[in-house]
Amino acid sequence: MRQPGAVVLECEGLRRRYNGTTVVDVDHLELRTGEVLAVLGPNGSGKSTLFRLLMLLEHADEGAIRLNGRQIKVGDREALARMAGVFQRPYLFSGTVQGNIEYGLKGIEPAIRRARVERVLEELSLSALAGADVRALSGGEAQRVALARALVLEPDVLLLDEPTATLDVTIQRRFREDLGRVARRRARAVLLITHDAADAFALADRIAVMQRGRIVQLGTPEQLVLDPRTPFVAAFTGAELLLDGHVSALDDGLAQVRVGSGSLWCTLAPETTVALGQPVHVAYRPEDVALSRPGVHGTSARNTIDLRVVGIAPAGGLVRVSLTGGIGLVTSITRLSAQNLNIELGSEITAHLKVAALRVFESGEAK
C-alpha cells in the first residue's frame, strides 16, 4: 500500500433520509491523495446513495462535504470539474469511442487533448476501437470507454459505483486489473463503491464496511480479515459463522466455546466481553482450516478435530469441502491437496484451526 498524502475528499456528519428513513448516516470519512478507498456493503446498505451525495448529484439533509479543504455542494461547477464518476451501467454519448473520451476536454489545446486521449486509449486497450460506434460495443468495452472518459480528465477524485457489477466473470478480472493500474496513474485518489469483496480486496488500500447506512469498520484489507469488529464484517469479508455456541472456559483473552458436541478455543473479538455459559457467535475463514489425513494431531494448532467429508464443490481454482462430526466446518483447499488427501464423500479427515483464526462475538450483535 502506498503511503497516502493530504486529504482530498471528506465528509462529516453526512445524513440522508427518504420518507423519514435514514439511509446514510456517516460521521466521518476521508479519502487521501494516492489512495484507493473502497466502500463495501450489501445491496440496500446506503452505499450508492453515499456515492450520489459525494458526486453532488443530490442534496444531503445534514453534514458537510469538502474537496481539497473547501466545502462543496450540489451545483458547484468548480468541484464538478475536479471530480469524475463511473456508474454501474455506462452512460455513453452517441458517436465514436474517441468522441466520447475527448468530450470533457473541450477548450484544451488540441495537441494536449490528442496526447491525453491517445495515452488513455492505449492504457485501456481501446486504441483499435477509437473510431468504432459506441452502439457496437460489448458491455465490457463500453465500461472501459466510460472509465477512459473519466480518467482522461485526470481528476482529483475518481468515484466508481459498482463498476464491475454487470460484467461477466472473465471480463471482470481483466477490467479490475486495468482499473487498479490505470486509475492510480490518472487520478489523484479513487473512491470505489462495491458490494463485491473481491473488488474491494483486489483494489483498495483501505475498506469502509457499510451496514444500514453507517460505516461499521474502516481499515486495511488485512485488518478486516484478521480483526473483524462484528459478525457482519466477518461474514461479509469471507468468514463463516458457527451459531449457537456457548462459552465453556475463559483464559486471558481466549474463550473455549462449545459448538455442537465439540469445542473450539478462540480469540475474543475486540471490545468483546463474555461470561461462562454465555451464547456467542464464532467466526472463521474457510482458508484457515487446514486438513490432514485421519488421526494426524501433531500440529501447532490448538484446535484439532476428527471429522467426516459431507460435501465437495468446485470454487474457482479451489475445492470447497464441507465437514461434519462434533462440529460442522467448511474449508477451501487446492485441487492438488484434495487429491493428495483422498478427499471424497464420506471419507474421514482431521481439521486443524489455530486459536488466532477464530473470533468470538457476543450473540446479541447483528449478523
Examine residue 21 and state whether it is found in any structural domain, yes or no: yes
Within this chain, do residues 31 and 169 fall inside the same structural domain, yes or no?
yes
| pTM of structure | 0.86
Q: What is the residue type of 3?
A: Q
Residue 327 DSSP code: S
d(CA 365, CA 322): 26
**HEC per residue, 329-356:** EEEEEEHHHHHHCCCCCCCEEEEEECHH
- Mean pLDDT, range 201-229, rounded to an integer: 94
d(CA 157, CA 159): 6
157-200 pLDDT tens trace: 999 999 888 788 778 888 888 888 888 889 999 999 999 998 99
Which string of DSSP letters, residue by residue, matches 15-84? Answer: EEEETTEEEEEEEEEEEETT-EEEEE--TTSSHHHHHHHHTTSS--SEEEEEETTEEE-TT-HHHHHTEE
Q: What is the pLDDT of the chain when averaged over all its residues? A: 91
Examine residue 367 and state whether it is found in any structural domain, yes or no: no
Residue 283 DSSP code: E
Which string of DSSP letters, residue by residue, matches 221-273? Answer: HHHHHHS-SSHHHHHHTT-EEEEEEEEEEEETTEEEEEETTEEEEEEEPTT--
Within this chain, do residues 154 and 302 fall inside the same structural domain, yes or no?
no
The CATH number for 48's domain is: 3.40.50.300
d(CA 224, CA 205): 12
Within this chain, do residues 250 and 293 fall inside the same structural domain, yes or no?
yes
Model confidence at 242: pLDDT above 60:
yes
Q: For residue 241, how far is the Cα from the chain centroid? A: 19
- Mean pLDDT, range 91-114, rounded to an integer: 91
Examine residue 257 and state whether it is found in any structural domain, yes or no: yes
Within this chain, do residues 116 and 263 fall inside the same structural domain, yes or no?
no
Looking at 178, 202, 226, the residue that finishes a domain is 226
Examine residue 344 and state whether it is found in any structural domain, yes or no: yes
Residue 364 pLDDT class (50, 70, 90 cuts): low
Cβ-Cβ contacts under 8 Å for 200 (sequence gap 6 or more): 38, 40, 192, 194, 207, 221
Looking at 198, 226, 254, the residue that finishes a domain is 226
Can you give the pLDDT at residue 295?
A: 76
- Mean pLDDT, range 44-73, rounded to an integer: 96
Residue 99 DSSP code: H
Within this chain, do residues 160 and 285 fall inside the same structural domain, yes or no?
no
Model confidence at 59: pLDDT above 80:
yes
d(CA 147, CA 132): 16
Helix axes 169-186, 110-123, angle to 10 degrees: 140
d(CA 356, CA 180): 31
Looking at 174, 194, 226, the residue that finishes a domain is 226
Higher pLDDT, 100 or 226: 100
How many distinct structural domains can be found in the chain?
A: 2
Within this chain, do residues 89 and 194 fall inside the same structural domain, yes or no?
yes
Higher pLDDT, 241 or 308: 308
Examine residue 100 and state whether it is found in any structural domain, yes or no: yes
The CATH number for 354's domain is: 2.40.50.100
Higher pLDDT, 300 or 284: 284
Q: Which domain holds residue 173?
A: 7-226
Within this chain, do residues 247 and 124 fall inside the same structural domain, yes or no?
no
136-166 pLDDT tens trace: 999 889 999 999 999 999 999 999 999 888 7
Cβ-Cβ contacts under 8 Å for 111 (sequence gap 6 or more): none
Q: Tell which residue, 104, 77, 80, has the closest CA to residue 91.
A: 104
Examine residue 297 and state whether it is found in any structural domain, yes or no: yes
Residue 3 pLDDT class (50, 70, 90 cuts): low
